[in-house]
Structure 1
Amino acid sequence: MRYSFRQLEVFLAAAQTQNITKAASSLAMSQSAASSALKELESQFNIQLFDRVGKRLQLNELGRLFRPQVEALLAQARELEQGLSRHTEAGALKVGATLTIGNYLAVGVMAKYMKSQPHARVSLEVANTRTIAKRVNDFELDIGLIEGELQSPDLEVIPWCPDELVVFCSPEHPLASQGSLNDEDLLNTTWIMREPGSGTRQTFERGMHGLLPDIEILLELEHTEAIKRAVETNLGIGCLSQVCLADAFRRGSLVPLKVPEHRRFDRQFYFILHKQKYRSAGIARWMELCRAL
Structure 2
Amino acid sequence: MTLRHMRIFVEVCRTMNITRAAENLYLSQPAVSLAISELEDYYGIALFDRIGRRIYITEAGKNFLSYAQHITSTFDEMETGIKNWDYFGTLRVGASISLGIRLLPQIVKAFSQSFPGIKIPVIVNSSETIEAKILNNEIDIALCEGLIHSPDIITEPFYEDRLVVLCSAHHPLAKKDRLTLEDIVREPLLMRELGSGTREIFENFMTAHQIQVEPLWQSSSTRAIVSAVEANIGISVLPYELVKDDILQGEVQLLQIPDMAFRRTCHLVYHRSKYLTRSAQAFLKQCHLSAGLLSQQRQQELQAAEQERRRRAAGQ
**TM-score, with structure 2 as normaliser:** 0.79
Distance in 1 of aligned mates of 2:111 and 2:56: 37
Q: Is the 8 A contact 1:221 1:227 kept in 2?
A: yes
3-state SS of 1:153 partner: coil
- Match in the other structure for 1:199: 197
Please tell me the residue identity of whatever aligns with 2:177: G
Distance in 1 of aligned mates of 2:281 and 2:195: 28
Distance in 2 of aligned mates of 1:282 and 1:21: 37
- Match in the other structure for 1:153: 151
1:1-293 alignment, distance < 5 Å:
3=2, 5-40=3-38, 45=42, 47-48=44-45, 50-54=47-51, 55-61=54-60, 63-83=61-81, 88-89=86-87, 91-209=89-207, 210=209, 212-213=211-212, 217-259=215-257, 261-293=258-290
Aligned residue pairs: how many?
A: 287
Distance in 1 of aligned mates of 2:183 and 2:109: 43
Please tell me the residue identity of whatever aligns with 1:186: I
**TM-score, with structure 1 as normaliser:** 0.84
Please tell me the residue identity of whatever aligns with 1:269: C
Runs of 5+ unmatched residues, structure 1: none
1:1-31 deviations in Å (ceiling 9; x for gaps): x62x433221211233332223234434443
**Structure with more of its chain in helix, by fraction:** 2
Displacement of 1:256 after TM fit? 0.8
Q: Is the 8 A contact 1:19 1:57 kept in 2?
A: no
3-state SS of 2:103 partner: helix
Distance in 2 of aligned mates of 1:46 and 1:235: 60
Displacement of 1:94 after TM fit? 2.4
Distance in 2 of aligned mates of 1:237 and 1:70: 47
1:132-176 deviations in Å (ceiling 9; x for gaps): 212222223223321122332322222221111010122122211
Question: 4+ runs of 1 displaced by more than 6 Å?
Answer: none
Please tell me the residue identity of whatever aligns with 1:270: H
Displacement of 1:81 after TM fit? 3.9
3-state SS of 2:92 partner: strand
Q: What is the RMSD of the two structures over their aligned residues, measured on CA atoms?
A: 2.7
Aligned pair in 2 of structure 1 residues 46, 165: CA closer, same or farther (>3 Å)? closer
Aligned pair in 2 of structure 1 residues 85, 280: CA closer, same or farther (>3 Å)? closer
3-state SS of 1:208 partner: helix
Please tell me the residue identity of whatever aligns with 1:258: Q
1:68-92 deviations in Å (ceiling 9; x for gaps): 4433333333334435556644621
Distance in 1 of aligned mates of 2:171 and 2:152: 45
Displacement of 1:241 after TM fit? 1.0
Q: Is the 8 A contact 1:136 1:142 kept in 2?
A: yes
Please tell me the residue identity of whatever aligns with 1:10: I
1:221-250 deviations in Å (ceiling 9; x for gaps): 112222112212221111111111222222
Runs of 5+ unmatched residues, structure 2: 291-316
Q: Is the 8 A contact 2:157 2:267 kept in 1?
A: yes
1:107-129 deviations in Å (ceiling 9; x for gaps): 33233344433332222222212
Displacement of 1:193 after TM fit? 0.7
Q: Is the 8 A contact 2:92 2:121 kept in 1?
A: yes
Distance in 2 of aligned mates of 1:270 and 1:107: 16
3-state SS of 2:190 partner: strand
Greater shift after overlay, 250-259 or 135-144? 135-144
- Match in the other structure for 2:308: none
Q: Is the 8 A contact 2:93 2:121 kept in 1?
A: yes
Aligned pair in 2 of structure 1 residues 207, 27: CA closer, same or farther (>3 Å)? same
Greater shift after overlay, 158-167 or 19-28? 19-28
Identity score, percent: 31
Aligned pair in 2 of structure 1 residues 68, 130: CA closer, same or farther (>3 Å)? same
Aligned pair in 2 of structure 1 residues 26, 280: CA closer, same or farther (>3 Å)? farther
